[in-house]
Amino acid sequence: MSIEVAAHEEARLRALLQLEQLGLEWVPIPAGEFTMGSNEYDEEKPIHRVHLSAYQITRHLVTNAQDAAFVEATWHAAPQHWKGGKIPHGKENHPVVNVSREDAQAFCEWAGVRLPTEAEWEKAARGTDVSIPGKALSTQRAATCGIRASGARLRSACFLPGNRRMR
């Protein structure tokens, strides 16, 4: 095995260990078509069918504690509202907020995953229930779920803003 291949394999194993230590719960989303969009909002028109390959998405949004692990490991800037770079007391398991798309992208790169596309986010959020009207999902909310390749069953993976607990 060449030094380059060994280094790549070591980096891949480190990324897998980081994901495991973060405690992210992954939900498999099967390949197939789903109904995307809504006639309720101009930016979501028209309703249309989209086919996606299988993938996995995190069940819950990234928490402050998970983001803190990233900040500590990479020296990436903490969210601005964290006084002294520390998570607000009692908010460790709340979803991380006040992060930019670039912050979310950096977290995903560090964790060895990627951000979901709008279609992936909507399919996971809707599940098999096409009666859920499309909602304008904010970039910040969508940016905090990770994606990795895979496949299996689907009900509903992520919670839409306003539904149940998000974290």
Average pLDDT over residues 7-30: 74
46 upstream amide cis, omega within 30 of 0: yes
Average pLDDT score over the chain: 75
Residue 14, CA distances (Å) to 64, 126, 144, 147 in order: 21, 33, 21, 17
| CATH number, domain with residue 139 | 3.90.1580.10
- Flag the least confident range among 13-22, 32-41, 90-99, 119-128: 13-22
DSSP string, 90-154: T-TTSBP-S--HHHHHHHHHHHT-BPPPHHHHHHHHHTT-TTSPP----HHHHHTS-EEE-----
Predicted local distance difference test score (pLDDT) of residue 129: 53
| Tens digits of residue pLDDT in 156-167 | 344 333 332 322
Q: Does any domain span residue 163?
A: no
- Is the pLDDT score of 15 beyond 90? no
Average pLDDT over residues 124-144: 50
Give the domain range for residue 17: 3-149
Q: Does any domain span residue 166?
A: no
Place 141 in a pLDDT band, splitting at 50, 70 and 90.
very low
The structural domain count of the chain equals 1
